[in-house]
Amino acid sequence: MKTTEAPGTRDRLIGAMFDSLQRKGLHGVGLSEILHDAQAPKGVMYHHFPGGKADLAVAAIEAGAAQIKASLLQVIEAHADPADALKIWWGHAHKRLERSGFERGCPLAAISLESTPDDIALRDALAQAFGAFRELVADLLAGAGIGAKRSTQLAALIVSAYEGSLIQARVAGSAKPVNDTVEMLLGLLRIELANAKESRA
Amino acid sequence: MKTTEAPGTRDRLIGAMFDSLQRKGLHGVGLSEILHDAQAPKGVMYHHFPGGKADLAVAAIEAGAAQIKASLLQVIEAHADPADALKIWWGHAHKRLERSGFERGCPLAAISLESTPDDIALRDALAQAFGAFRELVADLLAGAGIGAKRSTQLAALIVSAYEGSLIQARVAGSAKPVNDTVEMLLGLLRIELANAKESRA
DNA sequence: GAATCTATAGACCGGTCGGTCCAGTTGTCA
DNA sequence: TGACAACTGGACCGACCGGTCTATAGATTC
């Protein structure tokens, strides 16, 4: 929210945490590694994030959510057909994963699975992020003429498929699970979109 | 594979690790916690798993994969309609998550996202598990008359949706993401199955 | 230019981490 | 019954964990 915050150490810390979440999750990295990546000493981190590691993670999740949202909005604006937009955007994630040697996946997924019900702030931030994500997709579909309820459900399926396909590709060291998932899903989506268009005509 | 292995400490260790993987992932738990759960001292674990924590994790993944496979086969046998079978089986996972206060998800997903490309054995075991899982579903669909390629893709989508929906439900503390995902997916699946039946007639 | 606040810097801490080592116990088979 | 392997039990280790603390440097304000 505080967009006027001076860029610098704080953002470098968030960036380094974001990076680590993509690669190994929250418990997979030590503070020392994050601090090293961000070129920052310890004190400065507890200055900006008094709550420590978890606090920084929440900030990184929020930054990640904002970034995902922005990039999705961008492809939506560039492609009139929702199916095309989703395909492009999915391709981005897929290429990032592949180019990194199957190291970099979704920054939200790993920490989601490491979190316990006690991690209130963490799960809150994550739930909000995924919720916003689903809503964005649902709005896209509703805008293409699909009914509200069906758009919501379809959006849930799309986001689920997105996360799940990245998990599988990651461990397989192969893009095939993503490609198979996307091809089938987009095929079904196009039928859905065609039906929506027809029933409006 | 060694099914004649005497039950006892070794299995208790695997069980405890399996449990932890569901709840917090690999790095989220210390050996001491696992050892405490399994009521076993340290030495015994390095006797059965010379490779340490990672070694035990691989064994737990293999055990988990076998368990998932068995339970899926069971519901498949009990329900002639593939869509019904998947619905029941998804319901099991969903209930386990809910009953545990959104603590217990898929035992494979968390460690998948924590793993790095260097964790060869780990990713191998995981890739094999997910692959077997997809294959099982694909066979089920092919058996219902859906073409081979389409069955493969649809299976990838189903497994992806399964994993992704559990992630979202977990952080949301709500079953809604799972319900939405399943309802939409099974609706599409039923159409697919009807088409397959028709084109065979 | 003293006071104050924000930010940087890193030494330091107790605790826990994964892992090693070896001394006992138990089971098995000659 | 003696030998030997499989297994159990836990003390012990150095490394690293997340976190605290104090010192100081720059900026801002009166």
What tens digit of pLDDT does each residue of A68-95 get? 999 999 999 999 999 999 999 999 999 9
CB contact under 8 A, A156 and B180: yes
Question: Distance between CA atoms of A29 and A26, rounded to whole angstroms?
Answer: 6
Give the minimum alpha-carbon distance from A125 to chain B in angstroms, rounded to a whole number: 9
A29 touches strand D (CB under 7 A): yes
Dump pLDDT digits (tens) for B175-200: 999 999 999 999 999 999 999 888 87
- Output the tens digit of pLDDT for each of chain A's 201 residues: 333 334 589 999 999 999 999 999 999 999 999 999 999 999 999 999 999 999 999 999 999 999 999 999 999 999 999 999 999 999 999 999 999 999 999 999 999 999 999 999 999 999 999 999 999 999 999 999 999 999 999 999 999 999 999 999 999 999 999 999 999 999 999 999 999 888 877
Instruction: For chain B, give the number of residues.
Output: 201
A62 three-class SS = helix
Question: Distance between CA atoms of A17 and A47, rounded to whole angstroms?
Answer: 16
Phi-psi region of A174 (alpha: psi -120 to 50; beta: other; left: phi over 0): beta
CB contact under 8 A, B153 and A25: no
A167 and B163 in contact (C-beta within 8 Å)?
yes
CATH class, A61-200 region: mainly alpha
pLDDT at B78 over 60: yes
A123 and B171 in contact (C-beta within 8 Å)?
yes
- Radius of gyration for the alpha carbons in chain A, expressed in angstroms and rounded: 18
Q: Does A188 touch chain B (CB under 8 A)?
A: yes
A5 three-class SS = coil
**Whole-Å CA distances, B87 to B9, B70, B84:** 35, 16, 5
Please give the pLDDT value at position B197: 83
CA of B22 to C1' of C27 (A): 36
Rounded to the nearest 5°, which phi and psi values hold at A98? -65, -45
Closest CA-bearing residue to C1' of C16: B30
CA of B76 to C1' of D28 (A): 72
Beta-carbon-side half-sphere exposure of residue B116 (alpha carbons within 13 Å): 10
B147 touches strand D (CB under 7 A): no
Dump pLDDT digits (tens) for B163-175: 999 999 999 999 9
Question: Distance between CA atoms of B170 and B166, rounded to whole angstroms?
Answer: 6
Q: Does A173 touch chain B (CB under 8 A)?
A: yes
Q: What is the mean pLDDT of residues B104-118?
A: 97
In chain B, the DSSP E strands lie at none
Please give the pLDDT value at position A2: 34
Give the minimum alpha-carbon distance from A92 to chain B in angstroms, rounded to a whole number: 18
CATH architecture of B62-200: Orthogonal Bundle (1.10)
Q: Say which DSSP state B117 is in.
A: T
Helix, strand, coil percentages, rounded to 5, for chain B:
75, 0, 25
Give the minimum alpha-carbon distance from A168 to chain B in angstroms, rounded to a whole number: 7
Interface test with B, best of A162, A165, A184, A186 (most B CBs within 10 A): A184
B40 touches strand D (CB under 7 A): yes
Q: Per-domain residue ranges for chain B? A: 62-200
A163 and B168 in contact (C-beta within 8 Å)?
yes
Q: Does B120 touch chain A (CB under 8 A)?
A: no
The residue assigned the tokens 């979202």 is B168
